[in-house]
Structure 1
Amino acid sequence: MAQPDISLLTGQQRSNWIRLRTMILLRWVAICGQLVALTVAQRYYGLQLELGLCYLAVGVSVIGNLIAIFVFPENKRLTETENLLMVMFDLLQLAFLLFLTGGLHNPFALLLLGPVSISAAVLTTRSTLLVGGTAIVLVTLLGEFHLPLRTQQGFILRIPDLFVFGNWIALVIAICFFGAYSRRVTSEIHSMSDALSATQMALSREQKLTDLGGVVAAAAHELGTPLATIKLTSAELIEELDDRPELREDAALIREQADRCRDILRDMGRAGKDDLHLRQAPLMTVVQEAAEPHTHRGKYVHYTHDPDAGDEIDQPAILRKPEIIHGLRNLVQNAVDFAAANVWIEAHWTADTITLRIMDDGRGFPPQLLGRIGDPFVRRRKTRDDRQQRPEYEGMGLGLFIAKTLLERSGAELTFANGADPFARENTELPHVGAIVEVSWPRVKIDAREGENAVAQGQNEPITV
């Protein structure tokens, strides 16, 4: 089964999700803070500031906000370029205010980290590097070029050069660290969001397929009566048209086609609008249903189960949940993709647990990625052997993430391992076992006969025509 296309999710620029109204609100908060800081510095601490230029810098921000409010609609979403320009404007405006108020001698210099963090959260990597580089250049210039802070008595407020240098180092490191940290965390959040959206799409598709099975069953039930009527009427016409061979042939054809429709409906589904068998099935039946789309791709799929468990305890009937079927199908697809010739699906059950083990005779999971299997969008550099064996394959780990997420939702625990060292020479005496995926459920989670998830039993009447 093809994986859901999430290009519409991952291809969108995250900056396009930011509303202009949000940026305007943040700028109003910054403007209020700047005005309060200027007022307190002048009136309560008696600092001699270039108030004309300071208020000019704040006024430019006010004018920019007013223009944005009256020119653009409130629900406008900013493009990547527009967001970059707004962040750069705020960065330059703040740097100009710091130039007028002591440069790095001003403790408010740490506010330069704000635009960098915002850009790392909403902009692309290129734009973030541009904003971060600009911030580092501005911090460097502010360390050397700035207007001094003077008191009413004419004293210059400054800190020792060693502390200025320390502030410069601290700000440069903070810009790099907070930018990289914010970018990394935001990227992880976005990747997980995209992957979960893809998982939901996959589950929705599987649910539609399951619902389609119920529709087919209902159609088979409802069409049984009219088909029986057609068959009965055509049989009577055949008896009454013995003297008219051409019409008798038409009546016979109608009866033949009615029989054909009956046979098709019998193959398509079982009787009943709410077929109980659509909600539960024996374990191995569900496993074979999940693996069926990948059993004709040139690899041999072996189904086995523990004979001792089968003798002691009847094969369990489990819930036919869409997440179970789709999750197992993805695991089987991955095994078939990388198997040399064989895939083994082993089942084992006890009174407390149900376990499935999916193995293949391929090269196994890359050892360096074993700990990251199940994370979305995991890429690795392809080796020469990989390019020769599967030049068209570009895996991102999304299929395994979807499988892991869906199966864990049903209560399962997944374990990924290799059956042999992929770097060791193949043992010719034993079948080479590559990747191994073990899926284990507490039996009460998926048992359809006992416990809180038990499906009510009933009799399904066959179609009779």
Structure 2
Amino acid sequence: MTAIPDPSLALPEADAGRRNLTLLIQLRWLAVGGQLATIGIATGLMGITLPLVPLLATILLLASINVASRVRLHRGGAVTNGELTAALLFDVAALAWQLHHSGGLANPFASLFLLQVVIGAILLTPRSSWAIVAATLAALAALRIGPTPLVLPPRYAGDPLGLYLKGSFVCFVLIAVLLVAFVTRISRNLRDRDAALAAARQRAAEEDHIVRMGLLASGAAHELGTPLSTLSVLIGDWKGAPRFAADAELQEDLADMDAAVQRCKTIVGGILMSAGEARGEAPQLTTMRRFLTEIVEDSRAARMPGTVAFNDLFGADVAIVSDPALRQVIGNVVDNAAEVSPDWIGITASRDGDMAVIEIVDRGPGFSDEMLEHFGQPYRSTKGRPGGGLGLFLLVNVVRKLGGGASVTNRAAGGARVRIFLPLSALAPPEGEP
């Protein structure tokens, strides 16, 4: 078995990039609406003459970029740091172009460059953030070169500083509102990404733990194979030896010993099959009902009659590939239930759409609060044995490999309940096989 890097580790970063691009699109739509409103107020209510062609052309270009960005999101895939940097650089250039045609640095809305710098510092890598800072400084320097001056009507021409201060106040309010609204959402996206990355790393660590356990189990199984085979041969020789043939009691003991050795060899064989991929090294075609019935029959054979109840609500049977690892972990859950509730356990099989649902209940003491809180983590056991608590850990990881899940609860009437959810599509035989 070899550890394979988990591609899900890259997914949180990709998802955060897509959500951040979505926020930039929303911010740009607000900019388009705000710019149209500003142009309408300045020209209609205040009587200020503006060069409408370059200003409206920039607004149209911003809207076109937004449409293209939305198409980019619908195509799927990760949004890279380079794409986000390019989007912010375009926004800086668009703002500089509009300010150039509306007074340059004398326009109070020149402070909006600060919004681009803050967003870049949050979203981008340090190098890209400094690139945004350099771009804004270059834009401010360029605005000193031949800007189109604003021609104020007579009622404002006498106090241009008062008009500038009013515009600065509106710009400050706009920046404050946008920073609180969007930076808060961006920070939440980053926190969600960090949490998802932590969960993915934990999952990778758990799967690496399973790999090491599989290697250990496989090595132990290989080591046990030879002495078990030797014992089987010796027991066979003893059973056929003339001096033992007439002793009925000894023959009965030898038969029990032979059965125990064969049982050990079966367990070792199961470990060897389950130590590799989740489907094992020798998958077999069967049906879901037969797969479950065999698990139930194995459990009944090892216990007193009437202590294992099977409720079959699965419905129409479906063909599957028998999974040795899955059978083993389900058997472990059944064994654990029977250990705490030897008088009775219940197994129910049902179906929810494409999902097979297996429920195992008992009349034992149930799970502790700590077990419920840390369900699926290794070495969480109610039995107090060193190295215990791997049964549910293996169950969660084997089922997760198949695209399913598991949950545990305590029953109101007493005892525990374990539910296992298995997608039938993951167990279906390959196309072309009966």
Instruction: Give the structure-2-normalised TM-score.
Output: 0.42
Higher RCO structure (Cα 8 Å, ≥6 apart): 1
Instruction: Give the structure-1-normalised TM-score.
Output: 0.40
Bigger proportion of residues as helix: 2
